[in-house]
Every structure is written in structure tokens, then in C-alpha cells.
Chain A
Amino acid sequence: MIANYGYEDGSGFYYITVDTDICIGCTEYGCTKVCPGNVFAVEMDDYDDFVCTVAEGARKRLRELCSVCKAQNGSGGTERKLPCTAACPGGALRHSW
């Protein structure tokens, strides 16, 4: 599944994309360790696989939680410049900025 968690800030609309098919079988959980805003959680999805999600409590606050990295990294695109995208061994995480 491709999960897109979107948010809007003063400069436009962005989203974090997780390709959960890549997460299946992951044991590193890099995403949950590096994020300064604790945005990610590994949870069992509806098809009984353990995958990366944006934690329930973070979904409505991405605009703030991601502001720290977004301000530092500018337009990261799909390059692995952010702590989270760099920490994912399978490349399951992408940011639209």
C-alpha cells in the first residue's frame, strides 16, 4: 500500500509517502529511531503486516513536527537528505519537499 500523509503550511501542500510493501519484513525500524518529532511508528496494518505509519498523534501536527527538518533541508525531493528518508534501509519513505 502507498500511504500518503499530507499537510499544508504557509508555503504549500506537502506529503510524506510510505510504501508499506517495502516495510514488510523490516527489522531495523530506522524511521522510528531518528525522527526528532517522533512522527513514525511501526504498527500492524489491516493485512497483518508490521509496517511504518505516521503515528496517530502526529497526523494532525505534521506541519509543526516536520518544520524543524523542512527548514533545514529546503527542497529535499526524493534525495535522501532527511533523517527519516536516510534511515530507512529499503527506501520506503519519501517527502514531497
Chain B
Amino acid sequence: MTETQHFWRWSEKTYQAPDLDWRAASSITVGVDVGSVSSQAVILADGKLLAFNSTRTGSSSPDSALRAFRGAAEPIGLTLDDISYAVGTGYGRVNVPFADRTITEIACHARGANHMGGPSIRTILDMGGQDCKVIRIDERGKVLNFIMNDKCAAGTGRGMEVIADVLSVPIEDIGRRSFEIDEEPAAVSNVCTVFAKSEATSLLRAGWSVNKVLAAYCAAMAQRVAGLIERMQVEREFFITGGIGKNIGVTRRIERLIGVEAIKLPADSVLDPQIAGALGASLFAHSLYRKAQKEAAAAGGTAPGNGGTPGGAAEPAGEGAGVAG
């Protein structure tokens, strides 16, 4: 291998439903979540999961949005022209060039978590690349209350990536390895990721194993996040979304600290907690599209699938093609 290894990089993930023919669907709705670290696209055919893709956010948000969409759509021959309605969300949501509307990531994560974890979910912890939020929702996935923190990299996905790089441990292995220790160490004292780099080096010099340093980091991150959750008084039926949701080194330690176990996706689920925001956006896109269709029909307007609706107006030609195809 001549290429430098990027320890912080998550492997990209893509999924296409094997038994769904999108060409027979009357609507193709898309949700795109452009996060600070990674971007996801979810495509629904008549409201059912058709495909999704997760990719690294590059320096340009519009490019990242397109890349995420193409990753999901190209394997099944779907193009931008086939989209009935698209919703952008996340940090870069205003830069999704093909979006008909933008919706905040708070509402999208709420809706996505409600869909993934079921209507009993009441508290969501969204741990993303750049920040961390706790959201309380009702049984329909509507946001009742949320808290977001004025955050730095400590306690976010980006902070964990820096640690992965410093310790040369692939980010996917951090969670598992952080439990392969003799005894749980105290959390690292440095809150700041910049200073944590030098702290990690001195811990290694002091004879700590890499796994033990990882454990101390995961514990520190869990402590920061748990403090935020406690302010919201977690109700049961608690669900974790976002990239760090995949790091059991952090999530299990959070569960220990707050004494509540998070609802997990079934082992055979194709879903991924990282796509919750994009999934929520695609569900919003689906209902907004249906609403627009109904309004158009009520106005005595055009046949479903054609332009002339507020949502469809952006891409009238594309829609007709999508349905006819």
C-alpha cells in the first residue's frame, strides 16, 4: 500500500433495496443531510426506503450533496430528473442545489428517529461531527423541546477522529478496543481536543496501552454528553442518532452514566443511526410532496405527477419523466 492510511475515515456506506422497482412508483422523494463531517442521502419510492448513501463532506457543500445522492441513486439508474421532491437538512442544507425546501436537522432527526425507533421514542441524542443535541419529541415525531450546546470538537465526531489519527487506530475499531482493558481508567482531564493530542502522547509515554487511552477518551466524551442529557431529564425510550451513535465505546458509557439503555435497531436492520437526519428529510419530502399534490388536485389542477404544484414547480419536466418511466 502506497497510499497513506486515514485512520479517522469511516468506510462509506451505501444501500439499495433489492426488491423495489422505483420505475413503478408514483413519487421519488429525497432527503439530503449535509453535515460538517459526513453527508447522507436517502431516497424513498412512494414513501418506502429505496436507497441511501453516506459519504464524507468535502470542501464544497453542493458537491457533497450531489455525491451523496449519486452514491445512492446511480447503482439503480436513478437521476436528478427523477426526483419528485427533495428536502435538504444539516449544517450545509442551504447548499443542496436540487432541494425544494430546507428543514432544520433538529426536526429531521426527530422524524427519522421516530421512524427508526418507533412512536414510543421520546428522547433523542444526536451526536454529529460538529455538535451534539438532545431532542424531546411526541409520538408523531414532532419536536417538543431541544437543547444544543455551544460546542467545541471535544464531545463530537470530529474530536474522535483527531484521537483516531493521533493513536493510529481505525475509527471503526475505537469502540470495541476501548473495552479491551483490564480496568476502566479515569476520563482524560483535558477537555480541549487540541490539548488532548499532547495528553495522549504523554499517557502513552507513561506506559498506558493504546486501548486504555481510548477508554479514557471515550469516557471523557461520554461525560460531556451525559451532562447535556441530564439537563433535559431523559425519559425512557431513548434513541441515539448521528455518527458517534456507532461508537459503542461512547454510547455504552453514556448509558452507564445516565442509567438508561438506548433503544437499538434490530440486528437485521439495514438502517444506520447516521442516516436518521436524511431519512427524516426524505419523510418530510414525501409528505410535502403529497400535500402539494392534494392542493393541486383541490385547485382543480393537473394530474398527479405533473408540474404546477409548489413543490414540483422547480423541476416539472423531471417529475413527469419519473412517473412515466
Contacts and interface: CB of A to CB of B under 8 A. Distances in A.
- Do A and B touch (CB < 8 Å)? yes
Interface of A: 1-8, 13, 15, 45-47, 59-63
A47 B284 CA distance: 11
B205 interface: no
A1 B144 contact: yes
A6 B149 contact: yes
B249 to A, nearest CB: 23
B285 to A, nearest CB: 13
B146 A3 contact: yes
- Chain B interface secondary structure, helix, strand, loop or mixed? mixed
7 contacts: A1-B145, A3-B146, A5-B147, A5-B148, A6-B148, A46-B107, A63-B150
Closest 5 CB pairs of A and B: A7-B150, A4-B147, A46-B107, A2-B145, A6-B149
A15 B147 contact: yes
Given A13-B227, A45-B104, A46-B103, A4 B150 contact: no
A56 to B, nearest CB: 9
A84 B146 CA distance: 20
Residue of B104, B148, B231 with highest tally of chain A CB at under 10 A: B148
A39 B144 CA distance: 22
B188 interface: no
B47 to A, nearest CB: 19
Interface string B147-161: 111110000000000
Given A1-B145, A46-B103, A63-B150, 6 more contacts: A3-B145, A4-B231, A6-B228, A45-B104, A47-B107, A59-B150
Contact of B148 (A13, A45, A59): A59
A15 B143 CA distance: 18
Contacts of B145: 1-4
A60 B106 CA distance: 16
A64 to B, nearest CB: 9
Nearest to B146: A3
B147 A46 contact: no
Nearest to A20: B143
Nearest to A60: B150
Contacts of A1: 143-146
A62 B147 contact: no
A60 B103 contact: no
A63 B150 CA distance: 8
B158 to A, nearest CB: 13
A4 B144 contact: no
Contacts of A45: 104
Given A7-B150, A59-B150, A63-B150, A46 B104 contact: yes
A61 B150 contact: yes
A1 B103 CA distance: 15
Nearest to B284: A46
Contacts of B107: 46-47
Contacts of A5: 147-148, 150
B57 to A, nearest CB: 17
Contacts of B227: 13
Contacts of A60: 150-151
Contacts of B151: 60
Contacts of B148: 4-6, 59
